């Protein structure tokens, strides 16, 4: 049996990597003879990170140009022709469009051949049904392309615990709606995602289960930070929010104000004898923010006052989890920063840029420690952090209960989806119904009227 696993991963986002590690481990546990094939934005990274064969979601990926360099002196006829056409103004846009169209056509043919060799394609992971990064022709189109090709190839198509939104453009909605309509199984990672796809016209049966990263085995990590004479450690996870170099919404003023407020908060922590460690779960969009937050702190504090601020972003999930296990408290702006906090029982304050983070904090029952990343006040952040410290034991107990329930729900979901009839789903079996009832009651008990329009 050959199973394809698709996620827009490959650029250092360890939240994506953790999700796929969890799925691969659970697939192998239940189907030890299955061959798993990856589809990602960076197949070289996916091969090395997950030790599986991998193909590109798009016609271009990092490393591809090395295979197309041709003659170093530029004697390749194709290179010479493109160079000539680019110098003619009227032909330049036509040449680019034609080149993209030809490359995409070749990629579609090659992808179809690979999909025909599979038994099933699973589209899994966080924001797969989202236009946040580069609009309809990024994630929505890629998902539509693979969904249509999988069905044309006669292969099973499953969406497993994916997130949806934002979806503003009509074309994005068409791509997502069409993709889900041809799937044999669809589960979302939160009720809000389920409601959003229903609003855009999806009428197929859908389920809600937690993010698949909650099925990670973290038993090898210490869930309680050691007692220290020099004071507790606060892990601070900044984000490149509105950074014009990497963020879809480009606003240098908002980005700078966000880092200024984090720097002021960090100085306050240091004055109270806390130690801080700046960390990241995503090298692709956090690296500038990490460096610039450190620069702000180094400008007016001595090395002795700062201590060890932290190294570069972790490259492996196990390294990140080992780092987080040493923290006493966490302040994060990332969805999986919250998930990892839950898994390792670390009291957490979230600075949220998207409703998915609001929903995650609310469902587990600590939404009062979730602040808006753009409008939060430093004094409000100090108050939220002080409350987290006061209620730390209660929060750890709450996280322990929630992650145990999520782990069990995912275990039964994976048993149903991966084992039953070799990926043939049971028709609303009792276990699925029971888990839906449990998760539904948890969500309903913590529902909030808070609007999710921030990110749309």
Residue 78 binned pLDDT confidence (cut-offs 50, 70, 90): low
Selected residue with higher pLDDT from 89 and 141: 141
Look-up of token digits 């025909």: 116
Do domains 2-215 and 233-399 share one topology? The answer is: yes
Lowest mean pLDDT among 114-128, 268-282, 423-437: 423-437
Mean pLDDT of the chain: 85
Answer yes or no: are the C-beta atoms of 290 and 313 closer than 8 Å: yes
For domain 2-215, the question of CATH label 3.40.50.11720 is answered with yes
Confidence (pTM): 0.84
How confident is the model over 135-151, as pLDDT tens digits? Answer: 999 999 999 999 999 99
- What percentage of the chain's residues is helix, strand, coil (to nearest 5)? 50, 10, 35
pLDDT given at position 115: 96
Cα angle, residue 419 at apex, residues 414 and 140 outer, rounded to 5°: 55
CA–CA separation, 338 vs 357, rounded Å?
A: 8
CA pair distance 441, 325, nearest whole angstrom? 31
CA distances from 266 to 125, 272, 275, 296 (A): 32, 10, 9, 10
Give the model's confidence band at 80: pLDDT under 50 very low, under 70 low, under 90 confident, else very high.
low
Residue 455 clears pLDDT 70, i.e. is over it? no
Nearest to 218 by CA among 312, 342, 370, 94: 342
Mean pLDDT of 311-323: 85
Q: What is the largest CA-CA distance in the chain?
A: 70
Residues forming a β-bridge with 276: 234
Identify the three-state secondary structure at position 134: coil
Determine the CATH number of domain 233-399.
3.40.50.2000
Please report the pLDDT score of residue 241 as a whole number.
Answer: 94
Summarised one tens digit per residue, pLDDT across range 10-23 is 888 899 999 999 99
Which pair of structure tokens corresponds to residue 172? 């994005």
Answer whether residue 357 shows pLDDT above 50: yes
Residue 159 buriedness (CB in 10 A; 0-12 / 13-18 / 19+): buried
> Measured in Å, how far apart are the chain's first and last C-alpha atoms?
40
* Selection from 363, 403, 8 nearest residue 217 by Cα: 403
Q: Looking at residues 240-248, what average pLDDT do you find?
A: 92
Mean pLDDT value across residues 154-166: 94
Quickly tell me which residue has 């589960």 as its tokens. Answer: 187
Map out the domains of the chain as residue ranges.
2-215, 233-399
Place of tokens 């995650």: 360
Average pLDDT, integer, range 41-48: 93
Order of strands across the sheet that contains 348-352 = 275-278, 233-237, 329-332, 348-352, 370-372
Q: For tokens 């879809």, what's the residue? A: 248
Pick 82 or 57 by higher pLDDT.
57
With CA atoms as reference, report the closest residue to 292 among 246, 325, 360. Answer: 246
User: What residue spans of 88-217 are helical by DSSP H?
Assistant: 92-116, 139-152, 170-181, 191-199
Peptide bond preceding 166 in cis form (omega within 30 of 0): yes
Measured distance CA(191)–CA(214) in Å, rounded? 17
CA angle 5, 7, 13 (to 5 degrees): 130
How many other C-beta atoms lie within 10 A of the C-beta of residue 84?
11
Burial class (CB in 10 A: 0-12, 13-18, 19+), 203: exposed
CA distance linking residue 160 with residue 368, whole number of Å: 29
Pick the closest to residue 280 from 100, 14, 79, 4 (CA basis). Answer: 14
Per-residue pLDDT at 303: 73
Q: How many CB atoms lie within 10 A of CB 350?
A: 27
Contact 138, 131 (CB under 8 A): yes
Kindly indicate the confidence band of residue 305, based on its pLDDT and cuts at 50, 70 and 90: low
Indicate the SS3 state at residue 422. Answer: coil
Classify burial at 93, counting beta carbons within 10 Å of its beta carbon; exposed 0-12, middle 13-18, buried 19 or more: exposed
User: Which of 295-309, 319-333, 414-428 tops mean pLDDT?
Assistant: 319-333
pLDDT confidence of residue 304? 67
Can you tell me which residue has the tokens 């899994």?
A: 124
pLDDT of residue 84: 55
Residue pLDDT, tens place only, 421-454: 454 533 434 445 555 555 555 545 545 444 444 4
């Amino acid at each position: 049996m050959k199973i394809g696993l698709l996620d827009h991963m490959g650029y250092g986002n360890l939240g994506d990597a953790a999700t796929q590690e969890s799925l691969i481990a659970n697939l192998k546990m239940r189907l030890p003879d299955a061959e798993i094939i990856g589809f990602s934005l960076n197949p070289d990274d996916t091969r090395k990170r997950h030790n599986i064969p991998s193909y590109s979601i798009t016609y271009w990926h990092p490393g591809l140009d090395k295979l197309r360099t041709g003659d170093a002196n530029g004697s390749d006829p194709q290179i010479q022709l493109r160079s000539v056409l680019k110098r003619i103004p009227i032909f330049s846009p036509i040449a680019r469009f034609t080149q993209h169209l030809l490359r995409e056509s070749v990629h579609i043919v090659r992808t179809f051949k690979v999909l025909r060799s599979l038994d099933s394609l699973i589209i899994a992971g966080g924001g797969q049904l989202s236009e946040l990064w580069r609009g309809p022709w990024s994630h929505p189109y890629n998902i539509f392309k693979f969904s249509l090709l999988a069905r044309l190839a006669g292969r099973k198509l499953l969406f497993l615990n994916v997130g949806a939104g934002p979806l503003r453009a009509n074309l994005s909605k068409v791509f997502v709606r069409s993709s889900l309509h041809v799937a044999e199984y669809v589960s979302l990672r939160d009720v809000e995602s389920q409601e959003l796809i229903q609003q855009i016209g999806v009428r197929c049966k859908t389920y809600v289960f937690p993010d698949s990263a909650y099925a990670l085995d973290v038993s090898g990590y210490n869930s309680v930070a050691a007692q220290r004479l020099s004071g507790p450690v606060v892990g601070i996870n900044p984000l490149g929010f509105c950074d014009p170099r990497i963020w879809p919404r480009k606003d240098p003023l908002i980005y700078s104000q966000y880092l200024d407020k984090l720097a002021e908060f960090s100085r306050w922590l240091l004055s109270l004898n806390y130690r801080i460690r700046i960390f990241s779960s995503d090298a692709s969009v956090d690296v500038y923010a990490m460096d610039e937050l450190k620069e702000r702190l180094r400008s007016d504090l001595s090395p002795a006052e700062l201590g060890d601020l932290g190294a570069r972003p972790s490259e492996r999930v196990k390294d990140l989890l080992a780092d987080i296990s040493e923290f006493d408290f966490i302040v994060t702006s990332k969805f999986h920063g919250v998930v990892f906090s839950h898994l390792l029982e670390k009291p957490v304050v979230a600075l949220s840029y998207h409703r998915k983070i609001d929903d995650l904090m609310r469902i587990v029952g600590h939404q009062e420690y979730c602040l808006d990343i753009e409008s939060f006040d430093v004094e409000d952040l100090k108050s939220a952090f002080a409350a987290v410290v006061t209620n730390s034991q209660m929060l750890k107990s709450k996280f322990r209960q929630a992650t145990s329930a999520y782990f069990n729900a995912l275990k039964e979901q994976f048993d149903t989806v991966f084992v039953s009839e070799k990926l043939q789903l049971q028709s609303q079996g009792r276990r699925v119904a029971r888990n839906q009832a449990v998760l539904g009651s948890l969500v309903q008990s913590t529902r909030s009227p808070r609007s999710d329009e921030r990110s749309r």
